[in-house]
Structure 1
Amino acid sequence: VTLAMVIVPSRDHVGSYAELKTRIDEEIGSINGRYSTMNWTPVCYFYHGFSFEELAAMYFIADIALVTPLRDGMNLVAKEYVAVKQDNPGVLVLSEMAGAAVELTDALLVNPNDTEQIENAICRALEMPFEEQQERMHRMQSIVSVQTVNKWAADFVNEWQEVAHKNKTMLFKKIGSQNMQEIQHQYLHAKKRLILLDYDGTLVPFQKRPEDASPTPQLLDTLQKLTADPLNHVVINSGRDHFTLEKWLGALPLSFAAEHGAFYKENGVWHKNVHGQEWSPGLLSILKLFVSKTPRSHLEVKETALAWHYREADAWLGRLRAQQLVNSLISICLKQNLQIMQGNKVIEIKSPEFTKGSEVNRLLLATRYDFILAIGDDTTDDDMFKAVPVTAVTVKIGTASESARYNLPVQTDTLPFLQRLTDESMVKAALKSGLKGQLSSAIDFFKRIINH
């Protein structure tokens, strides 16, 4: 066995590099001096660069490629070795710290800091059967032949274009004056309206402590105006527990869907869709463990759901723990037929039988509406958006959603939007303005025809 050691000169003027070269020279000289014979040199040492053609020839005849960087972004040497082998057998010993290790999993992966592991990998490579070498090499070649720099660049540009197109599409969802006029027109001419409103993040801003998100006088006044119209059926469709919703908003003639549809209130009476959930000790222990591991997070135990809140936690740590928690919960929730819901700075575990969408379905079966408005701010509201007809006015607060037709960029836009709907003078003025604009456009159009 001969090791062909190729070192391309780099940073010779740096002291630490020069010192390292001296150590390598001495080590190679010692090995060759001790083990060389007339017909064999253990280490062939090349302290200079080669042309790519010469390197390719060396790769082709090499039985083993030893690529063991302590840290590397990609390492094209490993890919080049695989690419030139064709039907010639060979084994790649590759550092797991190189980026190429993610793709070339059929190489013998080693920790470059573990010399014993590298030693064992070299021995295994030398003794590997011809058939296994070919199988491993063919699998790696099929990857290298497809995952080229051209494909990477094309994928990047295509994904960039898709994002740009999606951003343009989402931009058109933002409610402007024209969209508002259309919504006002539908609202004013409707005979029976269903208005579905999420609470946290929609009607009120998020608070670090959920109990601090009580309704403001402005919100109460807006809801009072909405419910005063006999044509309106206003429903607060929220993940909040029904006790809190009753305490804060129970004095208003509203309907409620609490805890994602597990409870609902109609005509002043609360109804329960599901029986109280008994939580397994294993599930509770996982959640309590993450509360203890994540400072300023807390666990909320509802009748039909468990919610782990991390709004007050450090942002980076909260995101990390949230993903770890979901991974920990998947197996146990699958066994117990429970649903994991990721909301805004909250992970919730509940029965999958009832959602914000199931409550909407119940309402639509009970009554026919010719105007439906649904407003929400997070992924749990997508169930509500999907449950209503495609002609409904669905509004996502914050980041635009593919499930909603319209978008309001910030939570503070919600109440002004609702107030414009309830203010009849504003509605009629907007409609009148819109009609004037249409009439003016029509007149201009006919003038151009006459002049032509």
Structure 2
Amino acid sequence: MAEPEKQLRHEKHYRYVSTHDVGYWSRSFLQDLERTCLDHSRRRCWGIGFGLSFRVVALDPNFKKLSMERIVSAYKRTTTRAILLDYDGTLMPQASIDKSPSSKSIGIINSLCRDKKNMVFLVSARSRKTVAEWFSQCEKLGLAAEHGYFLRLMRDAEWETCVPVADTTWKQIAQPVMQLYTETTDGSTIEDKETALVWCYEDADPDFGSCQAKELLDHLESVLANEPVTVKSGQNIVEGVSKGLVAKRLLSIMQENQIAADFVLCIGDDRSDDDMFEVIATSMTAPTITQNAEVFACTVGQKPSKAKYYLDDTAEIVRLMQGLASVSEQTLTE
């Protein structure tokens, strides 16, 4: 190695070592500790799960179960409603083998869509072909496929994209890696969509599948570091696109029509839905939502979330939606 290069390397490393001393690392550690413990005394701690999946989570004291009476009362007295619903794990149980919507779910959605006071969007990680087939009977339902990459305002409208057309050459890198994990994890599958590759392990052994998913996540982040794609872990999946785009699009449509929502309901079940909850929360001061609007961001189950409310399972979500649909049906017959 040439002397000038040695000197440059020495200066570079010396500068790093001299600025990152014991004091620096101590301050860094304490800052992380303080940030982690911020408002910790106000939070409620719960033990969740069993075995390797056991963990202690700290929940905000304002995080509470959604009252059926309160939301129905708010629904009755409001006139401009925005409703955002996740599908898998929210309206449809994750453990269900047949993922297509039941006739009951279709009926509930159609009742909500027939109400002229409502604008309803259903968000799914599925491909646009799949959701279009499943909800072909829902004429006025807005659909968001592949976590919001593709949007359709109603059945007879054209699909639109929320972001520029994606470069998917990264799939050639990711596919072999994901295939290797699929072959070594019984019950796992790869779903190849237009804008994403999804590794699903919901039918695999829970503990082994979870360990494999974490390892795959690290592996993909490494090999795709320089590619135009993000890697995300969801409920029994590893993939990437923000659902927050759907919430932004729905509210922007209402704004274009000079409509301000006085009732917003957003329901999801995993971390990918936090993007929607965050958009809804930040929009409360925007003209897209009235000042005294009733806003309900709800997740499925008690867990750390950006939602303010929770319901225990998909059965409770369906009962809630059925209750709101009944109110709309009564209004239509009056």
TM-score by length of 1: 0.54
Instruction: Tell me whether 1:218 sits opposite 2:99 in the alignment.
Output: no
**Deviations 1:387-426 (CA, angstroms, capped at 9, x unpaired):** 1135521110123443111100111111111122222399
**Deviations 1:341-382 (CA, angstroms, capped at 9, x unpaired):** 21111111x3xxx52111211221121322111111011111
Alignment-derived partner of residue 181 in structure 2: 290
CA deviation after TM superposition for structure 1 residue 161, in Å: 8.3
The 5-angstrom pairing of residues 25-424 of structure 1 reads: 163-164=44-45, 169=60, 172-175=63-66, 179-207=67-95, 209=97, 212-253=98-139, 254-267=141-154, 268-273=156-161, 274-275=164-165, 277-348=168-239, 350=240, 354-367=241-254, 368-388=260-280, 389-390=283-284, 392-424=295-327
**Deviations 1:199-230 (CA, angstroms, capped at 9, x unpaired):** 01111111465xx2111122112112111211
For the residue of structure 1 that corresponds to 2:121, the secondary structure is strand
Alignment-derived partner of residue 112 in structure 1: none
| Bigger RCO of structures 1 and 2 (CA < 8 A, at least 6 apart) | 2
Which moves more between the two structures, 161-170 or 318-327?
161-170
Which residue type is aligned with residue 355 of structure 1? S
For the residue of structure 2 that corresponds to 1:269, the secondary structure is coil
Of all paired residues, the percent bearing the same amino acid is: 30
CA deviation after TM superposition for structure 1 residue 297, in Å: 0.8
Which residue type is aligned with residue 193 of structure 1? R
Structure 1's 240 and 292: CA in aligned 2 closer, same or farther, altered over 3 A? same
Which residue type is aligned with residue 226 of structure 1? L
CA deviation after TM superposition for structure 1 residue 189, in Å: 1.7
CA contact (8 A) 1:398 1:411 kept: no
Which residue type is aligned with residue 344 of structure 1? Q
CA distance in 2, matches of 1:170, 1:417: 23
For the residue of structure 2 that corresponds to 1:197, the secondary structure is strand
CA distance in 2, matches of 1:161, 1:232: 37
Structure 1's 159 and 262: CA in aligned 2 closer, same or farther, altered over 3 A? closer
The gaps in structure 2 that reach 5 residues or longer are 1-21, 30-35, 47-56, 255-259, 285-293
CA deviation after TM superposition for structure 1 residue 186, in Å: 2.1
**Deviations 1:97-139 (CA, angstroms, capped at 9, x unpaired):** xxxxxxxxxxxxxxxxxxxxxxxxxxxxxxxxxxxxxxxxxx8
CA deviation after TM superposition for structure 1 residue 237, in Å: 1.2
Matched pairs, number:
270
CA distance in 2, matches of 1:280, 1:383: 24
CA distance in 2, matches of 1:262, 1:225: 26
Q: Which has the larger radius of gyration?
A: 1
CA distance in 1, matches of 2:188, 2:104: 30
CA distance in 1, matches of 2:224, 2:96: 27
CA contact (8 A) 2:43 2:59 kept: no
CA deviation after TM superposition for structure 1 residue 171, in Å: 7.8
CA deviation after TM superposition for structure 1 residue 250, in Å: 1.9
CA distance in 2, matches of 1:161, 1:365: 36
Structure 1's 171 and 362: CA in aligned 2 closer, same or farther, altered over 3 A? closer
**Deviations 1:288-329 (CA, angstroms, capped at 9, x unpaired):** 111112112111100011100011111121011001001101
For the residue of structure 2 that corresponds to 1:292, the secondary structure is helix
CA deviation after TM superposition for structure 1 residue 188, in Å: 1.3
Structure 1's 163 and 370: CA in aligned 2 closer, same or farther, altered over 3 A? closer
CA deviation after TM superposition for structure 1 residue 182, in Å: 2.7
CA distance in 2, matches of 1:246, 1:415: 21
Alignment-derived partner of residue 7 in structure 2: none
For the residue of structure 2 that corresponds to 1:202, the secondary structure is coil
**Deviations 1:172-196 (CA, angstroms, capped at 9, x unpaired):** 5112xxx333322321122211111
Structure 1's 216 and 170: CA in aligned 2 closer, same or farther, altered over 3 A? farther
TM-score by length of 2: 0.72
CA distance in 2, matches of 1:340, 1:247: 28
CA distance in 2, matches of 1:204, 1:329: 29
Question: Comparing both structures, which one devotes a greater share of its residues to helix?
Answer: 1
RMSD between aligned alpha carbons? 3.1
CA contact (8 A) 2:83 2:120 kept: yes
